[in-house]
Amino acid sequence: MKITREVKTAILVICGILLMVFTINYLKGINILKKHNRYQTQFDYNALSTASLVTIKGNTIGKIEEITYDDNTGKTIVTFVVTEDVKFSTNSKIRMYETGLMGGNALAIVPMPGKELAKDGDFLESEIEEGLITSLTKNFSGISSNLGVTLKTADSLMTNFNTLIINENEDGLKAAIAELNRTIISFREVSNAMNRLVVKNDASLTSAISNFDTLSGNLAEITTEFKQVEISKTFENLDNTLQEVNNLLASVKDGKGSLGKMLNDDQLYVNLEGASLQLEQLLQDFKLNPKRYVHFSVFGKKPKRFDAEGNIIEDEKSQPDDIHVELEHN
């Protein structure tokens, strides 16, 4: 059966959509090929985002799915998904912690002993891990008490450093400072050269930026046109086409129509095989006994006749005819 171009196009569109959905979820850290369980917890404030990770013992096992604010309790409700094969008890804690000095938080499941395992939709208790910045803020009073001693030590260090620079015997340090000065001068020359290059090619850079702006505008128009495409109508037509294909295949399978009868009736094959065998026997007999089918008579002599085994059949009467040439086909 030949597949039409419309069916091929529909199959490609469906495969593309499925691949796009799988890729988007995979980039979010969710494998749609695996089953996930959803759990909830709450915090006094929100320091998370839907891009925050969910880990257990340092391993990423899920993502935050939704963050909502409860007007009644004043709490932030966090819903997160975890792969189904990860098991932990209902006594486990959901800990919010900082992922680095530059900010950003994540959730960690802290397993606790317990007989009852957490199920899909359970609400778990939460806690907040004190980060480095928070710890420094709380202990700032203790740090400030020692700040005077630290400043005195720094002052002594700077005095010794100045003495080392001024000392005429430290030729190595002066040479290093001179080398650093030359490096800065070279860097300044390179910067000036770059400025001259930019000024020289200002027209080309302006044209390139203009072309990029035009390209961005074209991409925006293409995106707008793509949004205006009636996706629902396309899927409806695709569904109707697939339904018609299913009905056609079902009728063929049930033996309806010419194609169904040809595919399901063995008698056609048997007849074709018998006809082919007879044709092969006829050609073989024509090669071995050509006189059975083609006769040549000059004096009106009646041609000889042969039976099925190739024997000559004798006629009882001989009837002379006029002189003629006869070509007979049996």
pLDDT value, residue 39: 92
Is residue 163 pLDDT above 80, yes or no?
no
CA distance readout (Å), 265 to 1, 226, 277: 17, 50, 20
pLDDT value, residue 41: 93
- Region of 300 on the Ramachandran plot (φ > 0 left; ψ -120 to 50 alpha; else beta): left
**How many CA atoms within 13 Å lie on the side-chain side of 3?**
9
Sign of CA dihedral 252, 254, 258, 262: positive
- Structural domain includes residue 145: no
- Structural domain includes residue 244: no
* DSSP H/E element including 129: none
Is residue 248 pLDDT above 50, yes or no?
yes
- Structural domain includes residue 44: yes
- Structural domain includes residue 128: yes
- Structural domain includes residue 254: no
Of 96, 111, 132, the last residue of a domain is: 132
pLDDT tens string 44-59: 888 888 878 888 888 8
pLDDT value, residue 317: 46
Total domain count for the chain? Answer: 2
Of 110, 132, 154, the last residue of a domain is: 132
- Structural domain includes residue 176: no
pLDDT tens string 200-231: 888 888 888 888 888 888 888 887 776 666 67
- Structural domain includes residue 218: no
Q: What is the pTM assigned to this prediction? A: 0.36
Is residue 319 pLDDT above 60, yes or no?
no
Structural domain range at position 57: 37-132
- Structural domain includes residue 86: yes
CA distance readout (Å), 32 to 40, 50, 83, 96, 308: 20, 17, 10, 25, 75
Q: Supply the DSSP symbol for 324.
A: B
Of 106, 132, 158, the last residue of a domain is: 132
pLDDT value, residue 164: 62
| CA gap 104, 250 in Å, rounded | 58
pLDDT tens string 99-115: 876 667 889 999 998 88
CA distance readout (Å), 235 to 6, 17, 324: 12, 12, 79
